[in-house]
Amino acid sequence: MTVTLPPYEDVVARYEPVIGLETHVELGTNTKMFCGCPTDFGGQPNTRICPVCLGLAGSLPVANKAAIEATIRIGLALNCTIATWCRFARKNYFYPDMPKNYQISQYDEPLCIDGWLDVEVDGELVRIGIERVHLEEDTGKTLHVGGATGRIHGATESLVDYNRAGIPLVEIVTKPIPGTGALAPIVARAYVTELRDVIRSLDVSDVRMEQGSLRCDVNTSLNLPGEEWGTRTETKNVNSLRSVERAVRSEIIRQASVLDAGGRIVQETRHFHEDTGDTTSGRSKETATDYRYFPEPDLVPLAPDASWVASLKESLPELPRLHRKRLQTEWGLSDLDMQSVVNAGAVELIEQTIAAGTTPEGARKWWLGELARRANETGIELAAVGASPAHVAELQRLVDEGKLNDKLARTVLEGVIAGEGTPAEIMTARGLEVVSDTGALTAAVDEAIAANPDVAEKIREGKVAAAGALIGAVMKATRGQADAKTVRELIISRLS
Ligand SMILES: [Zn+2]
């Protein structure tokens, strides 16, 4: 059955979307939330486990102080109130990757409540309300094998890896976000981006969506203007910033087509598919009563000391939005130029390149030019393109010293990306250095003059602008390695 979906612009002209985001962040603590097992990503399955995170009878959890501290710092950075007293709760549900058949989480007594995060969308600040920030433990991972898709359907076996079970997980829940209209998908993406940057600045998680240390569920509903908010769906499996935007957009269109046909939106979880960009129905959404929450009897309540919280607040770093403002001033960029740096994901890269000794212009030229182009072409993030800030700083230094011109530098950069070494190493190994030695260039200049007598005559008559043709000939003869300025001087001196 093919359903013709209404165009997005048409949908958002008739319906008002309300979005909400639930983000899970795996903390980068050394050990798990309630035991001493290591938390490193990867590793042989079921090697980072113990009786506590396997939920064996008689084992008892002990809360990880570093995880609590990290959660409070996230809460403070998001302008939340920190609870003076709160408890962990058992969230009961049966799932093979949950060894205890319950998850230790927080329910009606979260550690941090009622904050906000300002995000910039098209130059305007949008304040996103934060409902709560709470601490829980991650589940293990189920792997379905023997089928074509890696999904449970068609699989012959399901394998469970408990290495991830018990890793501290912070859940950050926004308040519902109404009133964003057609911009809802962009606001959702901007929020997750800003949240990621805030958490990265706190140095409490590596927040890598592709590795699952930052995971996002997107709630979406539609209503007609003036009417109550609609029933919301929760889209899971949203594994990149781009997918956050696509998931909201596609769910807005899907819900509109259901409503247009007189249908009803079912409260459910839906799965986002990276390949097609649409969502399919998951399970009908449990309500809180299904989880039979009750206070975790194996753990004492959490009562963070006010002076401890105050000292954590005191030690918060400069947050990303203010940091970017300061950099913009230091780098002397317009709002628009700074926006393109932010959009390219190049703020930190440029910052580090400048710290390695380059001017802001020099750093920006490479990251937003050649390297951004390559990242776009290959569909990878700028930071993963294969050149480091130190490489770029060295490359620009060689240009500034006159050892490379821009064209040669681009060739050297290709070598850096290909993993051939540092810019200086590649320049030497490939013999790419600019030739400015007059002795070495004189022969090439004389040949160019001999081969282009008409041009030479013009220059002799004082038409210096004609020298360009001869410079071009010398450049060609020296495979672009001649120093153009030296060549020009040689030509003029030989023809005057
Ligand atoms: Zn353990």
Reported as a single tens digit per residue, the pLDDT across 354-375 is 999 999 999 999 999 999 999 8
Q: Does residue 138 sit in helix, strand or coil?
A: coil
| For range 58-84, the mean pLDDT | 97
| Structure confidence at residue 3 (pLDDT) | 67
Same domain, 474 and 352: no
Same domain, 254 and 359: no
Cα(207) to centroid(ligand 1), Å: 22
Cα(26) to centroid(ligand 1), Å: 16
Cα(106) to centroid(ligand 1), Å: 20
Task: Give the least confident one: 13-22, 335-344, 364-373.
Answer: 335-344
**How far is 190 from 174, CA to CA, in rounded Å?**
13
| Structure confidence at residue 285 (pLDDT) | 63
Q: What angle do CA 169, 172, 176 make, to 5 degrees?
A: 155
Residue 2 lies inside a defined structural domain of this protein: no
Query: What pLDDT band is residue 178 in, cutting at 50, 70 and 90?
Result: very high
| Structure confidence at residue 286 (pLDDT) | 63
> What confidence tens digit (pLDDT) does each residue in 217-236 have?
999 999 999 999 999 999 98
Report H helices in 181-331.
184-202, 241-260, 306-314, 320-331
Cα(298) to centroid(ligand 1), Å: 16
Same domain, 245 and 323: no
Cα(160) to centroid(ligand 1), Å: 15
| Residue that is written with structure tokens 């190493």 in the block | 425
> What confidence tens digit (pLDDT) does each residue in 304-327 have?
999 999 999 999 999 999 999 999
Shortest CA distance to 353 belongs to which of 377, 333, 376, 371?
A: 371
Same domain, 197 and 87: yes
Question: How many other CB atoms sit within 10 Å of the CB of residue 218?
Answer: 29
Contact assessment for residue 17 and residue 252, using Cβ atoms and an 8 Å cutoff: yes
Task: Give the least confident one: 65-74, 162-171, 213-222, 435-444.
Answer: 435-444
| Structure confidence at residue 263 (pLDDT) | 94
DSSP string across 94-120: --TT-TTSEEEE-SSS-SEEEEEEEEE
| Structure confidence at residue 182 (pLDDT) | 96
Same domain, 214 and 192: yes
Same domain, 98 and 216: yes
Same domain, 48 and 108: yes
Higher-confidence position of 150 and 26? 26
Cα(44) to centroid(ligand 1), Å: 15
pLDDT exceeds cutoff 90 at 483: no
| For range 102-113, the mean pLDDT | 96
Cα(70) to centroid(ligand 1), Å: 20
Query: What pLDDT band is residue 288 in, cutting at 50, 70 and 90?
Result: low
End-to-end CA distance of the chain: 81
Q: What is the mean pLDDT of the chain?
A: 92
Same domain, 448 and 415: no
Sign of the alpha-carbon torsion through 109, 110, 116, 119: negative
Cα(381) to centroid(ligand 1), Å: 34
> What is the number of structural domains in the chain?
3
CATH number at residue 489: 1.10.10.410
Same domain, 354 and 290: no
| Structure confidence at residue 432 (pLDDT) | 87
Distances (CA, A) of 27 to 30, 41, 66, 74, 331: 9, 11, 9, 11, 33
Higher-confidence position of 252 and 122? 252
Cβ contacts of 275 within 8 Å, gap of 6 or more: none
Burial (CB count within 10 angstroms: exposed 0-12, middle 13-18, buried 19+), residue 437: exposed
| Structure confidence at residue 339 (pLDDT) | 87
Last residue of a domain, one of 283, 309, 335: 309
**How far is 36 from 159, CA to CA, in rounded Å?**
24
Cα(23) to centroid(ligand 1), Å: 24
Same domain, 288 and 333: no
> What confidence tens digit (pLDDT) does each residue in 396-434 have?
999 999 899 888 999 999 999 999 999 999 999 988 888
Last residue of a domain, one of 284, 309, 334: 309
Instruction: Quote the percentage of the chain above a pLDDT of 90.
Output: 66
Supply the Cα-derived Rg of the chain in whole angstroms.
29
Residue 130 lies inside a defined structural domain of this protein: yes
Last residue of a domain, one of 309, 339, 365: 309
Same domain, 356 and 486: no
| For range 193-201, the mean pLDDT | 95
| For range 193-211, the mean pLDDT | 92
Query: What pLDDT band is residue 52 in, cutting at 50, 70 and 90?
Result: very high
| Structure confidence at residue 436 (pLDDT) | 79
Contact assessment for residue 490 and residue 438, using Cβ atoms and an 8 Å cutoff: yes
Query: What pLDDT band is residue 279 in, cutting at 50, 70 and 90?
Result: confident
| Residue that is written with structure tokens 């074509």 in the block | 148
Cα(163) to centroid(ligand 1), Å: 8
Cα(92) to centroid(ligand 1), Å: 20
Host domain of residue 344: 318-430
Residue 300 lies inside a defined structural domain of this protein: yes
Same domain, 300 and 343: no
